[in-house]
Amino acid sequence: MAAAMVEHQQEPEGRPWDYLLRTWQELDVPEGWRAEIDEGHIVLAPPPHAHHHGIAAKVQRRLYTNLPDELEIYQTLGVHVTPLDKLYVPDLVVMPAELIDTADSETSDPVDASEALLIVEITSKGNAREDRTKKYRAYARGGVPLYLLIDRFDTRGAMATLFTEPNEDGTYKRSDPVPFGKPLVLPAPFDVTLSTDAFPV
């Protein structure tokens, strides 16, 4: 199912981002759904397929193999892409646990995407294009050093691609695409080989 857009009334005086963030914080989102801020709108995405969750669980389990104690893996954590005033809720985010543990308990402000060491997006049929284009460019602009895109709907066949070395122009200098069934090496601080042969297509 495609994402739905939340319509809102005319914004009050002030920055549009502040208004959108306040609205996002106050939303009562149905369980399993996600609310993101993109292109000046709040977008709701429905719960993904069970296979989507299965892949996320396998990736998370593997990432924990050599993960340093000061890092943690978070599911559906809102991240703010500051240069673009976008707010995305990736499938997995790896970042220093201290940033989450010391966050202001009175607000639900998103963390800055630049603090992430790795962001993982797993495509669904309705959002694959956004993960390949909008989010790819946003994470690069936001300075996310590693972006792992697991794309079951790639026209070349199911692929896992690790993008590294982000540019301010919204691209990554390097990409390492592997078809499902082939191993994908994740560099330090993870230092693990991700097996994709068990990913459901």
61-105 pLDDT per residue, tens: 999 999 999 999 999 899 999 999 999 999 999 999 999 988 776
Q: Is the pLDDT of residue 44 over 50?
A: yes
- Whether this model's pTM surpasses 0.75: yes
Percentage of residues of the chain with pLDDT beyond 90: 75
Q: Roughly how many angstroms between the first and final C-alpha of the chain, as a whole number?
A: 17
- Look at residue 106 in the predicted model and tell me its pLDDT: 63
Beta strands in the chain (DSSP E): 4-6, 34-38, 41-45, 71-75, 79-81, 86-88, 92-96, 111-112, 118-122, 146-151, 159-166, 172-179, 183-186, 192-195
* Helix locations, 27-86, DSSP H: 50-63
Q: Which two tokens stand for residue 54?
A: 């299965």
Angle at 187 between CA 71 and CA 59, to 5 degrees: 65
- Look at residue 117 in the predicted model and tell me its pLDDT: 98
- Look at residue 9 in the predicted model and tell me its pLDDT: 45
The overall average pLDDT reported for the chain is 90
- Look at residue 76 in the predicted model and tell me its pLDDT: 84
- Look at residue 5 in the predicted model and tell me its pLDDT: 54
Q: What is the mean pLDDT of residues 7-20?
A: 65
What is the band of 107 on the pLDDT scale with cuts at 50, 70, 90?
low
